[in-house]
Amino acid sequence: MGTPIVKVEGLTFSYPSSDQTLHGISLEINRGEFVGITGPSGAGKTTLCMCLKGLIPHVIGGKMRGRINICGMDSRKTEPSMLSEAVAMVFQDPESQIVGLTVEEDLAFGPENLMKSSEQIRTEIPGILNTVGLSGYERRETYRLSGGQKQRIAIAAALMMDPQVLILDEPTAELDPQGKAEVFNVVRRLREEHDVTIIMVEHEVEHLADVADRIIALDHGRVVADGSPKEFFHSPRHFDRTEGERIPQVAELFLALEAENLVDPHEFTPYEEEAIAHLDQLLLRKRGR
């Protein structure tokens, strides 16, 4: 970390038939960071992702001002076909992203367009499927997969492009609880095992606490919060912008203990293991009185 791979400066965008969606957004994301983006519906989260991917302004029209440099490329001056080799994006709807009749065909589609050899593609597929927890699914027909499996295949297809930046735009929004759990398990594995910068849009901010280095909140097209999970959940003005999504129960507990002066502010944590350690110390202090 420490080297910006994404730099956004004064980004403003409006669609042809609407008011401004993004208002002067500026931010940096370092190489290897996992950044969560949250905020209410209509805050501009998906629009920001499409700008980072280069779909805006090349594919989706509108009025854009400002500058985005991603993986050393100016998004406004670089064709999406070139950006696609460095930046991959997974959308909400798993059905809309699958193009192959079988899993193997689907995973091969992107690399084939980049002129990778069939032998290289066949060699890479088993490892990618193992990463998303679907080893041995090469011959499975994609239409028979569950929603969670389809979304994991979409993530696998993105990883087949060997991206430097992976954008996940609310990948669990249309999934049932089991499908959500499957995708978050994959996300945690990516966080731990792969050298890729991840930007994940997610309404359920409680899940972001476990995986994100930073959480950014958007509201009405502006960045209203940007900090580590500890900073984000420790400040009600941050998570109040997230459309009422529940914060981690551990964070709720420590805010309550802090309000009763039972723990110091610096002991606040949204992480379960740290919380257990702090609570053990609290009990020891109480017993020692």
- pLDDT value, residue 229: 92
- pLDDT value, residue 244: 53
Please give the tally of structural domains in the chain.
2
Q: Are residues 113 and 192 in the same domain?
A: yes
- What's the pTM value of the predicted model, to 2 decimals? 0.90
- pLDDT value, residue 236: 67
Q: Are residues 230 and 99 in the same domain?
A: yes
- pLDDT value, residue 240: 57
Q: Are residues 150 and 276 in the same domain?
A: no
- pLDDT value, residue 263: 85
Q: Are residues 24 and 103 in the same domain?
A: yes
- pLDDT value, residue 32: 92
Q: Are residues 185 and 287 in the same domain?
A: no
Q: Are residues 16 and 61 in the same domain?
A: yes
Q: Are residues 146 and 276 in the same domain?
A: no
Q: Are residues 209 and 145 in the same domain?
A: yes
Q: Are residues 144 and 44 in the same domain?
A: yes
Residue finishing a domain among 231, 247, 263:
247
Q: Are residues 68 and 83 in the same domain?
A: yes
- pLDDT value, residue 242: 54
3-state SS of the chain is CCCEEEEEEEEEEECCCCCEEEEEEEEEEECCCEEEEECCCCCCHHHHHHHHHCHHHHCCCCEEEEEEEECCEECCCCCHHHHCCCEEEECCCHHHHCCCCEHHHHHHHHHHHCCCCHHHHHHHHHHHHHHCCCCCCCCCEHHHCCHHHHHHHHHHHHHCCCCCEEEEECCCCCCCHHHHHHHHHHHHHHHHHCCCEEEEECCCHHHHHHHCCEEEEEECCEEEEEECHHHHHHCHHHHCCCCCCCCCHHHHHHHHHHHCCCCCHHHCCCCHHHHHHHHHHHHHHHHHC
Q: Are residues 34 and 152 in the same domain?
A: yes
What is the domain extent for residue 263? 248-289
Q: Are residues 29 and 132 in the same domain?
A: yes
- The CATH number covering residue 160 comes to 3.40.50.300
- Chunked in runs of 10, what are the mean pLDDT values of the chain (289 residues)? 87 88 95 93 93 93 94 92 90 89 95 89 94 94 94 94 94 88 89 89 85 92 93 75 68 88 88 86 75
